[in-house]
Homo-oligomer: A and B are copies of this chain.
Amino acid sequence: MGRKSLKTPRQQEIIKAFYQLAKKEGLENASIAKTAALIDINPSLVMHYFKSRESLIDSLIEFILDKYLLIYRIQDDVNAGPKKNLLKVIDNIFSNKWNALFADSVSYSCYSMAFRNKSIKRKYKDLLDTLRDNLQQLIADCKNRGILSVQDPVQTADIIFVLVDGAYYYLCLVSDKKEYQQKLNQYKKQAISLLNFVSSSAR
C-alpha cells in the first residue's frame, strides 16, 4: 500500500545534477538550490533524500570513484588473453576516453577534502588500492605465463599508477592539444617499459 518508492532513481538524478554543477562552477559553488533548479524540483526534495549537503557530497564522491573503476570494464573481449587484456587496460588508462568519463576538477576538489575527513580519505585510499590491485593481477597473469619479466607485480602496478596520477596532474594544466597528446604518449611508453615485456614472435 502507499506509493512506490522513487528513492534510488531520484537520488541518482540529484547526484548527477550536483556533479554537473560542480563540474561547471566548482564544487564550492554547487549549492542545493542550484541543483534543485537544474532538474526542476524543490530544494526541500534534495534535503529529503540527503540529510545534509555534506552527505550529498559524500554520495558525489562515491559516484565519482565508481567511474574510475571503468578502466577495467571497457574491455571488448574478456578472453583475449592476458597480454591483450593488460595492454587494453594500459590503453584505457592513457586514453582521453577515461579522462572524459569524469571531471578531474571535481575529483581534485573532493580529494582535497580527504585531508580533513577521514571517511573521504579512506574512500580515496581504497579506490587507489583497488585500482592497483586489479592492475597487479593482470601483470601477475602475464608474469606467470612468461609474457613479461618484473620482479614484483605489486610494486610495478603501484609505480605505474604513481606515474598515471602524476601524469594527469601535469596534463590537466596543458592547454595545447599537441603537447598534451605527445606527453601522454610518452608517459604511456614509460609505463609499458616498466612492464618489461619479453620480446618474442609468440604472443
Q: Please list the residues of chain A having a beta carbon within 8 angstroms of any beta carbon in chain B.
A: 25-28, 103-106, 108-109, 111-116, 121, 124-125, 128, 155, 158-159, 161-167, 169-170, 172-175, 183, 186-187, 190
Q: In the docked arrangement, what's the CA distance between A71 and B119, Å?
A: 32
Q: Quick one: given A26-B113, A112-B105, are A128 and B165 in contact (CB under 8 Å)?
A: no
Closest to A105 in B: B115
This chain's copy number in the assembly: 2
**Chain B contacts of A164 at CB under 8 A?**
166
Report A136 CB to chain B, min CB distance, Å.
14
Q: In the docked arrangement, what's the CA distance between A159 and B109, Å?
A: 25
Q: In the docked arrangement, what's the CA distance between A173 and B106, Å?
A: 17
Report A190 CB to chain B, min CB distance, Å.
6
**B26 touching A112, Cβ below 8 Å:** yes
**A124 touching B173, Cβ below 8 Å:** yes
**B128 touching A170, Cβ below 8 Å:** yes
Report A72 CB to chain B, min CB distance, Å.
18
Q: Which of B128, B166, B173, B174 contacts A162 (CB 8 A)?
A: B166
Closest to A22 in B: B112
Q: Quick one: given A162-B167, A166-B166, are A114 and B173 in contact (CB under 8 Å)?
A: yes
**B105 touching A172, Cβ below 8 Å:** no
**A-B pairs with beta carbons under 8 Å apart, 26 shown:** A25-B116, A26-B116, A104-B115, A105-B112, A105-B116, A106-B112, A108-B111, A108-B115, A109-B109, A109-B112, A114-B172, A121-B173, A128-B170, A155-B186, A159-B190, A161-B166, A161-B170, A162-B163, A162-B167, A162-B170, A163-B163, A163-B166, A164-B166, A165-B165, A165-B169, A166-B167
**A165 touching B175, Cβ below 8 Å:** no
